[in-house]
Structure 1
């Protein structure tokens, strides 16, 4: 039985989702992968970093979080005021970084990841900020220290996008990628295609928890820009800056435009696209995030509601489309779990 010591930094929705999966799938992990995961530390912004060398009790942690009680109420723990201090003072085999996404400077997640990699700790992350702004730097740092950095959960949650490219499509020359990468905007555009107006559907999406109180990151396309930058780095090996992505959100889309597209047999979707300017690996990438009226026969045009999808255009496989959830507590937790299992196989 392989024993892996795990630290979860960012014990919010996603971190708790991973912890819940570790608990409910404990026997499956033991039976199928001969893997025992021991959660030795967790942290959140309110209660700091707690550590127990023998392992923390996951049901206790989830109960404390549900009742909004301090994690420090867990018995027999050591405590540090913040995650960075705790990471530097303790040990683990793998760090799961699930703090909030900051697309300005990627803090505090990027500091957590750098600290872990420098200590020789493998990192799995759901945080889009470090992946979007510094993927190449962090992957190089991981290589220098002989550890892995895996980022499956940063694009389409637990839907296997990056692992499909890196493993399932190994040897394929991908020349373009197009995708629907934000469930909030897809939900809004799907509802507008049924005759409803933008303001009404946005309010509904906020009520259902699909959209934040301030929906700017979603509806103006910034969230999709971040995922586009991640795909540029991990699929094409090219580092782009946010300003290199031509961005247009959906706030200017009218019901009349939706109806006109439907009259032409098309559907408007917010589409992220990456394509090489020439058929050469080092050719510059063109990156765009914009509403596009797609022909009904386009696979992306059939993706509705909060679902996401990504189409890869390549040489030997022509086009491959992957459809699945792009957000959610357990869905994103599953992306982290898949990466944890992948890392454990190399330990």
Structure 2
């Protein structure tokens, strides 16, 4: 099968995936027998372009990096919005990488539903749809016999769902807990070195870890969306954002940091979910003082980590990048390879 790819959104992550596709085209063909062409791209800021014969991805990347619009691409059909690109092109794989809104799931939720209803496969790094409607989307994908995967929504390219599905298969997962937001982990690391919260936040913003409005990170909203996805995927919990207590790091002071250090502990923003004795699920996000012998306590800077507490292996911790252009693009590559294994 030849995969005909349409990008919905073409920001940092979409471009990162496009770069990987270009660079690894021969490897994908030789090792995985993957053949593809990118036929459409639709971005609310950059415009849209569709050519059923395939787009020159290198030319498009060069244009976008130079600040030019997709409308300037020679040839092809211009002006299709996201939904028209999904419905009216002959694509069979939708890469949904628009901006994330975990509170409403939109516009990505509508994009994913539309694609699945059209019988098209979807890979995505957007947290919104799985936060709001993971069970509905999985059921719809099954009914339409199509693939919907979102490996990158928790730790970017560091494996989470594939780790659970393959390497930890056969284990009962009792608890999952971890550092799932690199911005707050970076800030806490700098504060432990003596930097004030405001200075550490400014440094994170200068480095591109934190947005101009850092609320989603420092108030725990990003971590909240991720633990809801993990809870609902691992434990079938059917939790909503409002069901989970959330606290960020804005109330942690340098005195708190020093006090924890004196106790042989370290503050981390921890997202966790566990099965209670009555088989209900308890999830939460908030700062915790961890003993230095906890593997999560040794994870510093913008690095992320997750610990899975299992019945057969005990605690298994995976550490790696949780964000980044290529790192998140790599998660889409893994989803693409898995799609090809099943439907190729």
Q: So what's the TM-score if we normalise by structure 1?
A: 0.97
SS in 1 for 2:30: helix
SS in 2 for 1:247: coil
| Structure 1 residue 246, shift from structure 2 partner | 0.9
- 2:314 counterpart of 1:318: yes
Q: Report the more deviating stretch, 287-296 or 46-55.
A: 46-55
Match of 2:58 in 1: 59
Match of 1:105 in 2: 104
Match of 1:74 in 2: 73
Q: How many residues align?
A: 343
Match of 1:174 in 2: 173
Deviation by residue 1:12-58 (Cα, 9 ceiling, x = unmatched): 00000000000011111111111122111111112443211111111
SS in 1 for 2:187: helix
Q: Is the 8 A contact 1:47 1:81 kept in 2?
A: no
Alpha-carbon distance between aligned partners in 1 of 2:96 and 2:340, rounded to the nearest angstrom: 16
Match of 1:298 in 2: 294
- 2:16 counterpart of 1:21: no
Alpha-carbon distance between aligned partners in 1 of 2:177 and 2:27, rounded to the nearest angstrom: 35
- 2:120 counterpart of 1:121: yes
| Structure 1 residue 92, shift from structure 2 partner | 1.7
| Structure 1 residue 287, shift from structure 2 partner | 0.6
Match of 1:86 in 2: 85
Match of 1:250 in 2: 249
| Structure 1 residue 196, shift from structure 2 partner | 1.2
- 2:215 counterpart of 1:216: yes
Alpha-carbon distance between aligned partners in 1 of 2:57 and 2:126, rounded to the nearest angstrom: 22
Alpha-carbon distance between aligned partners in 2 of 1:34 and 1:337, rounded to the nearest angstrom: 14
| Structure 1 residue 3, shift from structure 2 partner | 2.1
Q: Is the 8 A contact 1:158 1:332 kept in 2?
A: yes
Deviation by residue 1:201-223 (Cα, 9 ceiling, x = unmatched): 10111011100000000000000
Q: Is the 8 A contact 1:114 1:138 kept in 2?
A: yes
| Structure 1 residue 107, shift from structure 2 partner | 1.0
Deviation by residue 1:263-320 (Cα, 9 ceiling, x = unmatched): 1110100000000112x7xx21101101000000000000000000000001011111
| Structure 1 residue 129, shift from structure 2 partner | 0.8
SS in 2 for 1:50: strand
| Structure 1 residue 86, shift from structure 2 partner | 1.7
| Structure 1 residue 141, shift from structure 2 partner | 0.8
| Structure 1 residue 105, shift from structure 2 partner | 1.2
Q: Residues 111-260 of structure 1: matches in 2 within 5 Å?
A: 111-260=110-259
Runs of 4+ in 1 over 3 A off after TM superposition: none
| Structure 1 residue 78, shift from structure 2 partner | 1.3
Q: Is the 8 A contact 2:42 2:80 kept in 1?
A: no
Deviation by residue 1:132-183 (Cα, 9 ceiling, x = unmatched): 1111111111111001110101110010111101122112100100010000
Match of 1:277 in 2: 276
Indicate which of 338, 341, 344 corresponds to 1:342.
Answer: 338
Q: CA RMSD in A?
A: 1.1
| Structure 1 residue 79, shift from structure 2 partner | 2.3
Match of 1:287 in 2: 283
Match of 2:327 in 1: 331
Match of 1:45 in 2: 44
Alpha-carbon distance between aligned partners in 2 of 1:48 and 1:64, rounded to the nearest angstrom: 12
| Structure 1 residue 93, shift from structure 2 partner | 2.0
Alpha-carbon distance between aligned partners in 2 of 1:160 and 1:47, rounded to the nearest angstrom: 31
Alpha-carbon distance between aligned partners in 2 of 1:16 and 1:224, rounded to the nearest angstrom: 24
Alpha-carbon distance between aligned partners in 2 of 1:203 and 1:240, rounded to the nearest angstrom: 34
| Structure 1 residue 82, shift from structure 2 partner | 1.2
SS in 1 for 2:342: coil
Alpha-carbon distance between aligned partners in 1 of 2:336 and 2:235, rounded to the nearest angstrom: 24
